[in-house]
Chains A and B, each alone.
Chain A
Amino acid sequence: MENKSFDDIIKSKLSQFSIENDAQAWDAFQESQDAHTFDEQLKDKVVPHEVDVPNVAWESFAEKSGMISFDEHIREKLVHFNSEEVPQDFDSIGDRNAPKGFDALIGAKLAELNLDGNSDWDQFEKILEGEEVFDERVKQKVEDFEVPYNGAQWPKLSEHLEKIEKRRRRILITKFIEAAVFILFILTIMQLYPIQNLTKKPVYRTHGVAEAVRQSGNSNATDHQNVQGREIDQINGDQKSSNVSLANIKTSPDASVESISTLENSPTLIADNERSANDDSIIKSLSSLPTIFRHTDNPLQSQRSFGIERTSGEKIIADLEAIDTDEPEHIAFERKEIRLNANKDDYPGQQPALLLASLDIPRIEAERRNFSIPFKGLASQLKNGQHWFNLYGSPQINMINTPFDKSYSVNRFINTEEGVIEAYSHLAEGYTVGASISKESAAWEVEGGIEYTSLNYYPKQITERVSNATVGYKDILLKEIIFDLVEIPLNIKYSLFKKKGWKVYGVNGASVGVVAFANYDIEEKETKPLASAMATPNQNRNPGTFVDRKDFDEGFVKSRNFLNNAYTTVNIGVGVSKEISDQMSFYIQPTYYHNLSQSGIGPNNDVHHRLALQIGTKVRI
């Protein structure tokens, strides 16, 4: 109901709505019509107008571009340009009725320019001369000017130069370490993936007497060939006089390790030029020999492992590692026999224990060496040891222990609420590079050398405000301590495990160190001028600063004070080394250094302990 009444109301309102007659509406409409007429007239004028200037190209372009009407309007305007339209001021030359271009108009204006007689060369020359005189006078004044030397500036530059030099040294050392690590990496890769064609395998020498023996029911014929001092590829029991031959044990460059290690199962290794009727059975039995020849060395090394062991769990006949062929006279030999425990039924007519071969094996008892009592016979072992030159670097983490510092007193500091500076510890990074010479024999290695350690750290930031009679208040802050340390270490290493070029060892030692150079970054800032300082007399004022009270030793090289700069450490660590050739090995050695000094070093008497990861390379010398 309500909706209907609303609709009715709207309807009745609309039906009553009418617009009053506007008397001006018609005039407005008429006017618009006139305007239309004006446009029409203009169009009539413009459109049929023929252009006098023949310009086919322009029309063609305009047609194509669809702008013909606009362009035509413009062109019409230009063609019918009337110089009369030009203001009188611009029309000063030539025929007034002639059309004038823009250039002509400008030219006219320039011609009217009145220079008052100054437009000649003399005027210009005068200007130039004036400039020359000006330049010359300024130059003279400035060029000969000198300022008096200010001695206060040199220390700043000197300090800056030292920092630059230190940075340069650090970069050099870092690059050196990077290069060393890179070389080690490359050598390791080469070790893991040797380039066979580029690396000539060495020809090994060993010592021994190989005998190929055949015991048969008919005879005890023995072939004996002494090959001591000859190349191992000539240790060859393949002699024609024997019916049974020892395997061709070849380790010449052409022979591979596998050809030896598969001797056990490879009857083809048995030379068989003169087989007897029993040879087949012997070959067959030989293939099941409980004895294997093991070749465990690396083809890149001139040393080799060559052993005979029984896989049946019986005692090891011999286990030879790393025969140093350069010193054959130091090797003792022990004759070992290889027997075939043949079943009598299988080999009718032959003795049960068939002696196949005997070898004179160099005797080095690896087991006894590995588990020998430490220090027993160390001196005698070292007599015959080998020397190494070691080069290493180590990133490290230092634990800096700063004791309670009584040189600071209460109310002197603006940034310490506690007033008293208690002892504190914090960590700082550093690095060490070093070189050493070591002597190694059997399980022992004694090492001595020299190390450089760079140690920078930020002590607790304590700003001290003091007053100065001439300038007012001054804030002083010891921001950074920079030490260059030199240490002389003496270490003993003991081999815990050694196999296939890998060695695990423990290291223990001590070193004496000295602060060679010490630099301190001390920031001084004037915070209040004298007038302001005088206006606040309640503020604590002390004539001296911690710089005056503490001992800022510049290091042993400058101060020549050894005791003030010296410290001692003991260290303990473990290391792993890997021989990558007979001349070189590399190692990694985490070591903890404990500082024994009580007095500490530097102005805060800091005692630093460190944990270092020593990475190095050893070269046999």
Chain B
Amino acid sequence: MDVTLDLQRSEEHFIQACVRKEKWAQKKLYEDYYGTMMPLCMRYTNNREDALDVLHEGFIKVFKNVNKYKPGTSLNSWIKRIMVNTSIDYYRKMSRRRTEDLDTVYDASTTEPDAISEMSAQEIIDALQLLTPAYRTVFNLYVIEGYPHKEIASILSITESTSRSNLVKARTKLKKILLAKSRIYGE
């Protein structure tokens, strides 16, 4: 019990230091969450450089709004939500720049779960980065973050049916990419 209280106090002290914009606290927060948030940003972006931009943009929002964080709740979830929202902003920015991929849906019904099991997370993220922003974002929000299609539609300003459609397309294309990768590595 005492340990819990101490931890809570310690977190409160840490958060207050972040609110006061103390550099050591900001740096510690960055160091602690870099490892988990960077892959999240990589999933939503085209490459590592963009992911770093999104990550930094996200941390700027974290430091700016850290006074709104309620101690006692999950700091990880709070930061993660900010990162996801920043990634969605990135998607919106990208979708204004690029035309959507109008690829037809390939028949990739052949799932090879074993092949995925053998792949590393980095390879899967690399594959995700090959998807178009629209497909990738829907896939991430639905599969990884667990958002329902209704919410995804609302967040991305698309219809629910488009969200479903993009998910199917994303999944199909991702399977195809992963399959191709596994074949390459297999050879």
Contacts and interface: CB of A to CB of B under 8 A. Distances in A.
Nearest to B140: A142
Interface residues of A, number: 28
B30 A157 contact: yes
A135 B174 CA distance: 11
Interface in A140-163: 141-150, 153-154, 156-158, 160-161
Contacts of B143: 135, 138-139
B140 to A, nearest CB: 9
Contacts of A164: 60
B39 A147 contact: yes
Given A130-B111, A135-B143, 14 more contacts: A131-B171, A135-B171, A137-B113, A138-B116, A138-B124, A143-B144, A147-B39, A149-B34, A149-B35, A153-B56, A154-B31, A157-B60, A158-B26, A161-B60
Contact of B117 (A137, A139, A145, A153): A137
A249 to B, nearest CB: 63
Contacts of B27: 154, 158
Contacts of A137: 113, 116-117
24 contacts: A127-B109, A130-B109, A134-B113, A134-B175, A135-B171, A137-B116, A141-B116, A141-B124, A142-B43, A142-B144, A144-B121, A145-B121, A145-B122, A145-B125, A147-B34, A147-B38, A149-B31, A149-B34, A150-B34, A153-B52, A154-B30, A158-B23, A160-B56, A160-B60
A133 interface: yes
A158 B59 CA distance: 10
B40 to A, nearest CB: 9
A581 B129 CA distance: 68
A274 interface: no
Interface of A: 127, 130-131, 133-135, 137-139, 141-150, 153-154, 156-158, 160-161, 164-165
B149 to A, nearest CB: 14
Contacts of A147: 34-35, 38-39, 42
Contact of A134 (B42, B59, B116): B116
Majority secondary structure of chain B interface residues (helix, strand, loop or mixed): helix
A142 B39 contact: yes
Nearest to B175: A134
Interface in B138-161: 143-144
Given A146-B39, A154-B31, A133 B113 contact: yes
Contacts of B109: 127, 130
A158 B119 CA distance: 35
B52 to A, nearest CB: 7
B65 interface: no
